[in-house]
Amino acid sequence: MKILIASFVFPPSNVIGAVRMGKLARYLDRRGHDVRVLAAEVDGDRSLPLEIQAERVVYTEYRKRSNRHNPYGQPFRSGQAVEDADISRSSLENPGAQVSSLRVFLRRQYYGLTHVPDMKADWIRTAIPAGRRLITEWRPDIIFASAPPFTGLIVASRLARSFGISWIADLRDLWVNNPYSGHPRWRIPLDAVIERLTLRSAASLVTVSPIWAEQLRRRYGRHAELVYNGYAEEDFPPFPQNAERGHVLTIRYIGSIYRGLRDPSPVFAGISLLPEKPRNRVNVEFYGESADAVLTAAVAHGVTEAVAVKPPVAYQRALELQVKADVLLLLQSNDKRDEGNLPAKLFEYLFARRPILFIGYETGVAARIVAERRAGFIANDPKRIRDQLQVWLAAKQTEGVKMLDRAVYFGLSRDEQYRKLERLFTEILAKSEPLPSFT
């Protein structure tokens, strides 16, 4: 089977979406399929291994839009949710903060107007011509496009329509009503129209959460395939033979902190409730670009000595850090809007077999997986977190915090998940007639 993957993010870019796409390309290549990739060449951390032949990937130029015409300063970070609640009561009481919050608000409106469907929209300019050249020389049987950014779905839909090729839309996040979106609320109707115009031509929809799959089914009246992110066993380092005893309990968080949506404050509040001596034996490490948000919360709860913020690390190093932690911290928003969010790192955490401290919506799909697989502790109440920390501290000192049973990760490997996609590709090609070509 000849498969074209269209994804803005792809290795060596070290971002979580690129991990899913890179591992899919590796799986399909090992299964004997002829795989090509259309991706963007972007700056930043480029440490993620490329696991197919480099000549099979077409990277096209991507230039960020100039900010010289932006009257409101630098853009907010792409993918970072900035809530209208940023203009808070304290901002109104502080003139300097008020000006800053007003600037954030106006900036959101400006970028909501100028970046449709998202801040990567300029990729269309180079991706579609490159995709047309690739398809002309090497015609794929099917196109698989993954988002966000949702610009990639528009690229795939246009290429599929031009050449009469079936395509599949993979939504790693929801396009419309995504609580992690940085767009202003007035964008929702516009995004809904663009989403419908784009996805109506897709032969199938794929997503990473059962709740999102159901939402897409209701919205479009057709099945959406559930394909978890999963884990890749061969990527992990050797596991310690025995739990390590000691005086310091190491809790690690790998990833981003989204202001107002992923908040470590309940953990810090729980630590602050510990007696002084055991409090000094807790060390919470954050690896990512979140220093300001984390340290501000740590100061507020008086636990700065228990918190360390470190820069992002390469993918293999991140897996090693997970395996060697005592406890892994998983932060979600304690809000029903986050009910369907299922972070990719959860599957890596499960395979690492370290107990998970889950903070977030306690009846959401991620919490249910942790609970059903007995993979950790779920709480938002600082007192309950304090009590569990004391249990782990006692275990650390006597016998070490034990690894979880292997059953916590059964059925969740990337290969097991990608087999679903492989079957889906075969089914679509077997029953679908080619789309009319407009070349």
On whether both 281 and 348 belong to a single domain, the answer is yes
pLDDT surpassing 90 at residue 423: yes
List the CATH number of the domain containing 137: 3.40.50.2000
Determine, yes or no, domain membership for 175: yes
Residues 6+ apart with CB under 8 A from 376: 327, 328, 330, 355, 356, 357, 358, 370, 404
Burial 137-156 (b: 16+ CB within 10 A, else e): eeebbbbbbbbbbbbbbbbb
pLDDT of residue 74: 47
pLDDT band at 285 (very low <50, low <70, confident <90, very high): very high
pLDDT band at 73 (very low <50, low <70, confident <90, very high): very low
Least confident of 23-32, 115-124, 176-185: 176-185
Tell which of 114, 144, 177 closes a domain.
114
pLDDT surpassing 80 at residue 306: yes
On whether both 27 and 135 belong to a single domain, the answer is yes
pLDDT of residue 84: 29
pLDDT surpassing 50 at residue 89: no
The pTM assigned to this predicted structure is 0.87
Residue predicted with more confidence, 88 or 165: 165
pLDDT of residue 64: 66
Residue predicted with more confidence, 20 or 431: 20
pLDDT of residue 184: 81
pLDDT of residue 182: 73
Tell which of 55, 82, 114 closes a domain.
114
State the average pLDDT over residues 130-134.
97
pLDDT band at 433 (very low <50, low <70, confident <90, very high): low
pLDDT surpassing 50 at residue 153: yes
Determine, yes or no, domain membership for 436: no
Residue-wise pLDDT tens digits, 99-122: 567 787 788 787 777 777 888 999
State the average pLDDT over residues 161-165.
96
Least confident of 99-108, 171-180, 416-425: 99-108
pLDDT of residue 185: 84
pLDDT of residue 361: 94
The packing angle between helices 151-163 and 187-199, to 10°, is 30
Q: How many folded domains does the chain comprise?
A: 3
Mean pLDDT of all residues belonging to the chain: 88
pLDDT of residue 202: 96
Residue-wise pLDDT tens digits, 217-248: 999 999 999 999 999 999 999 988 777 888 99
Least confident of 67-76, 339-348, 382-391: 67-76
Determine, yes or no, domain membership for 438: no
On whether both 300 and 390 belong to a single domain, the answer is yes
Burial class (CB in 10 A: 0-12, 13-18, 19+), 298: buried
pLDDT surpassing 60 at residue 94: no
**Can you tell me the distance from the alpha carbon of 270 to that of 6, in angstroms, rounded to the nearest whole number?**
44
Domain boundaries, position 257:
233-409
On whether both 336 and 419 belong to a single domain, the answer is no
Tell which of 114, 129, 145 closes a domain.
114
Edge-to-edge strand order for the sheet containing 166-171? 57-61, 34-41, 2-6, 142-147, 166-171, 204-207, 224-226
On whether both 237 and 361 belong to a single domain, the answer is yes
State the average pLDDT over residues 28-37.
98
pLDDT surpassing 90 at residue 77: no
Least confident of 89-98, 206-215, 266-275: 89-98
pLDDT of residue 112: 77
Determine, yes or no, domain membership for 380: yes
pLDDT band at 81 (very low <50, low <70, confident <90, very high): very low
On whether both 244 and 290 belong to a single domain, the answer is yes
Determine, yes or no, domain membership for 339: yes
DSSP 286-327: EESS-HHHHHHHHHHTT-GGGEEEE----HHHHHHHHHH-SE
On whether both 86 and 10 belong to a single domain, the answer is no
**Can you tell me the distance from the alpha carbon of 336 to that of 369, in angstroms, rounded to the nearest whole number?**
16
Residue-wise pLDDT tens digits, 34-59: 999 999 998 888 999 999 999 999 99
Determine, yes or no, domain membership for 15: yes
On whether both 108 and 248 belong to a single domain, the answer is no
State the average pLDDT over residues 113-133.
90
pLDDT of residue 432: 67
E runs forming strands in 56-147? 57-61, 142-147
